[in-house]
Amino acid sequence: MQQPNKDRFRHRDLNWLSFNERVLQEATDKLNPLYERMKFLAIFSSNLDEYFRVRVSQLRQMKRVKKSIRKKLALRPSKITKQIIQEVKNQQDAFGDIYNKEIIPELAINGIHILDAEHYSKAHRKFADSYFNEKIEKHIKPIMLDLKKENELFLENSVLYFLVTFQNENKLGVVNIPVEHCGRFVMIDDVTDEHSITYLDEIIRHEAFKIFPENDITGIYEIKLSRDAELYIDDIYEGVLAEKIYTSLKQRTDGQPTRLLYDAEMPKDIQKKVRKLLKLGKIDMMPGGQYHNFKDFFSFPDPTNNKDLHFKKLPALPHNTLDKSKNYFEDIAKKDQSLHFPYMSFSYVERFVEMAANDEKVTEISISLYRVADESELTSSLMKALDNGKRVTVFVEAKARFDEKNNISWGRKFEEKGANVIYSYPKVKVHSKIMLISRQEGDENVKYAYIGTGNFNAETSAIYCDHAIFTANKNITKELHRLFKVLEGELIIPREKNLLISPFSTRQEFVKLIYNEIENAREGKKAKITAKMNSLEDEEMIDLLYKASDAGVEIRMLIRGFTCLIPGVKGLSENIYITSVVDRFLEHGRIYIFENGGDELMFYGSADWMNRNLDRRIEVISPVLDEDIKKEFKEILNIQLRDNVKARIQDPEESNTYVERKKGEKEIRSQYEIYNYLKKKHKS
């Protein structure tokens, strides 16, 4: 974890918190319907959980690296962790205000009341008593701790528990809140037109005397422990340096605690006892509100069926060619075809695989799967292709964070069916979203490619903004075929001239493209770089962008997540302007445009400008060669760059200020404008 030069680079983990603040801003934005604002609270909470499991976990591990190595790398994990904890505390305070002062009152205005046990009526208490006996009690696993003896307490990752204190100070009770069995929210039968909802937590709180019948309860406090997901040192350090770091670490225990979130009302002496039980440091303790795991608000019930409380549905748009196509291969052979999710349906991709599975001329299907859905039309079609005697090669990423188990499970299913299944290599992830289909057309073996920015996953395609192109361009398909041969171990390098493939050529080609703009600027030619990505971290790329800015290259960037580049600093980055769009859908696509002296070059694909994407993952960035599609991509990108409703400026102060709409300027909420643009274009 490199300590940034304050004048040149931001710390990625600190700037990531700025991104999550933008998510929190969406929970306050009245442009979003009430239930959508609650979902943004859920997204904020879910993001933060993963952040502590991965990023903060890595900082904690770095604290155990030998001081001599930490000094060499300018590592200051304790300082960064303290800054993180303080900023997270500020954000959680804001979170509590939004929930208590905005969400709860607005729910009440709409006739929806969240009840706590303290305010149960006689009828509510009767309901809670019955519900506990019938639905909850069988899933409760209480633990009684005698503090006069040695105790070991294990809390599962992200599971909610109550810590219960008693009149007898030598005893502590721990009881699970079985959300996985009972759900988080319970509708209470009510005789009025109003709707009462209670947390599962509150029913258990109300019935706690039944769980610990022989003890006088003095306090009940909710707690949640986050455990690390995995150690990802090699995401940042490589080669001998990585090995030195690993050697300096003692054998680690998987799932080491990284944060205990606890009710801030918990007395300090109880906090101390819990810390001792769980072997935590002070820095691992995070005070919070009465409730945790707000990601459960994804499933918060709406008993009103009031459409105004939710986003209006945006029906998937028909593709003007593929929607009417009876044979995708014929239409793709004539012309490249583009897709834009979630504005268009992922079913076009599924239909393509289905056609391939049933087409007698198709001989082979190769695909890389990074995050596999539990069940999908796509995986079913791949199975069908195997039944029909096609050769199917599936590259399964075994290290896709939090999806490892599901991916490996699917890999085994494909293997059992006879597919050629290849799993990821040590220290290399396959992050590209690519598919190649071989079809025997007369004497020629014709190849059809699909290259996208998003995963082959119908569920995520409904909420992630991504781009994809079907092509039969021989230069592209030939190079993609060679890449699959590399993945299969038959070639060492893909020898590409058109595609940019990490870790073979992506960095080198992007460096050349940026230097070309620098030279053009120095010669007085128009020089411009426009780039959209999820995150920007790589210091070599950032230094080059600073150099380009100094040379007079106009640099316009759209970065949804974190950036280590500091824009708008005189003498360093004054020609770099960055905005971030956080809205209804998650911006996930990557598009890169270089002015190239008037002969504009456009690329899209799976790689951000992060060192892991450039050097340690298999990524594919493709040129956009079809002029119509190039125009379409540029129109979409320009709409996003002009967003004056949901775009925030990434300035040196990290203020997350919204882009100001000038007087008389049209209101542009880019995701809706893009939907309307594509609707009009594909209708014609």
Domain ranges across the chain:
12-309, 328-494, 502-683
Radius of gyration of the chain (CA): 27
Exposure string over 144-177, b if 16+ CB within 10 A, otherwise e: ebeeeeeeebebeebebbbbbbbeeeebbbbbbb
> What pLDDT score does 334 carry?
97
Q: Is the pLDDT of residue 480 over 70?
A: yes
> What pLDDT score does 237 carry?
43
pLDDT digits (tens, 9 = 90+) for 217-230: 999 999 999 887 65
Please compute the mean of the pLDDT values over residues 182-200 and round it to a whole number.
88
According to DSSP, residue 171 is labeled E
Q: Using CB atoms within 10 A of its CB, is residue 107 exposed (0-12), middle (13-18) or buried (19+)? A: buried
Which residue type is seen at 132? F
* DSSP code per residue over 583-616: SSSEE---EEEE-GGGS-EEEEES--BSHHHHHS
Q: Is the pTM of this model over 0.85?
A: yes
Of all residues in the chain, the percent with pLDDT exceeding 70 is 88
According to DSSP, residue 183 is labeled -
Of all residues in the chain, the percent with pLDDT exceeding 90 is 75
Q: Is 47 annotated as a binding residue?
A: yes
> What pLDDT score does 77 carry?
59
Cα–Cα dist 233/58, whole Å: 7
- Residues 432 and 619 sit within 8 Å (Cβ to Cβ): yes
Token digits of residue 418: 């006879």
Number of residues that make up the chain: 684
> What pLDDT score does 621 carry?
98
pLDDT-derived band at 317 (thresholds 50, 70, 90) equals: very high
Report CA 109 to chain centroid distance, whole Å.
Answer: 33
> What pLDDT score does 68 carry?
54
Instruction: Tell which residue, 547, 542, 548, 545, has the closest CA to residue 527.
Output: 548
Query: How crowded is residue 418: how many other Cβ atoms within 10 Å of its Cβ?
Result: 14
Please compute the mean of the pLDDT values over residues 604-618 and round it to a whole number.
94
pLDDT-derived band at 5 (thresholds 50, 70, 90) equals: low
> What pLDDT score does 411 carry?
76
pLDDT digits (tens, 9 = 90+) for 402-440: 445 566 777 788 889 999 988 766 556 788 899 999 999
Please compute the mean of the pLDDT values over residues 658-681 and round it to a whole number.
96
Q: Which residue has the higher pLDDT, 245 or 502?
A: 502
> What pLDDT score does 249 carry?
40
> What pLDDT score does 517 carry?
98
For domain 12-309, give the CATH superfamily. Answer: Polyphosphate kinase middle domain (3.30.1840.10)
Within this chain, domains 12-309 and 328-494 share the same CATH topology: no
**Which of the following is catalytic: 11, 340, 431, 682?**
431
pLDDT digits (tens, 9 = 90+) for 76-129: 556 788 888 889 999 999 999 999 999 999 999 999 999 999 999 999 999 999
**Helix, strand, or coil (residue 422):** strand
Please compute the mean of the pLDDT values over residues 347-361 and round it to a whole number.
97
Instruction: Tell which residue, 630, 627, 538, 543, has the closest CA to residue 592.
Output: 630
* Mean pLDDT over the full length of the chain: 89
Exposure string over 664-680, b if 16+ CB within 10 A, otherwise e: eeeebbbbbbbbebbee
Cα–Cα dist 263/287, whole Å: 6
Q: Is the pLDDT of residue 307 over 90?
A: yes
Instruction: Tell which residue, 216, 201, 212, has the closest CA to residue 263.
Output: 201
Report CA 221 to chain centroid distance, whole Å.
Answer: 31
Q: Is 371 annotated as a binding residue?
A: yes
- Residues 217 and 209 sit within 8 Å (Cβ to Cβ): yes
Q: Is the dihedral of CA 247, 249, 251, 252 positive or negative?
A: negative
Q: Is 588 annotated as a binding residue?
A: yes
Annotation marks residue 119 as catalytic: no
* DSSP code per residue over 289-340: -S---GGGGGG---TT--GGGSPPP-PPBPPTTTTT-S-HHHHHHHS-EEEE
> What pLDDT score does 406 carry?
60
Best CATH choice for the domain 502-683 from the list 3.40.50.1100, 3.30.1550.10, 3.30.870.10, 3.40.50.720: 3.30.870.10
Identify the architecture of domain 328-494 in CATH.
2-Layer Sandwich (3.30)
Q: Which residue has the higher pLDDT, 150 or 602?
A: 602
Please compute the mean of the pLDDT values over residues 278-285 and round it to a whole number.
86
Please compute the mean of the pLDDT values over residues 467-482 and round it to a whole number.
98
Token digits of residue 266: 């918990």
pLDDT-derived band at 489 (thresholds 50, 70, 90) equals: confident
- Residues 160 and 175 sit within 8 Å (Cβ to Cβ): no
Name which of 233-242, 541-550, 589-598 the model is least confident about.
233-242
Q: Is 584 annotated as a binding residue?
A: no
Q: Which residue has the higher pLDDT, 554 or 238?
A: 554
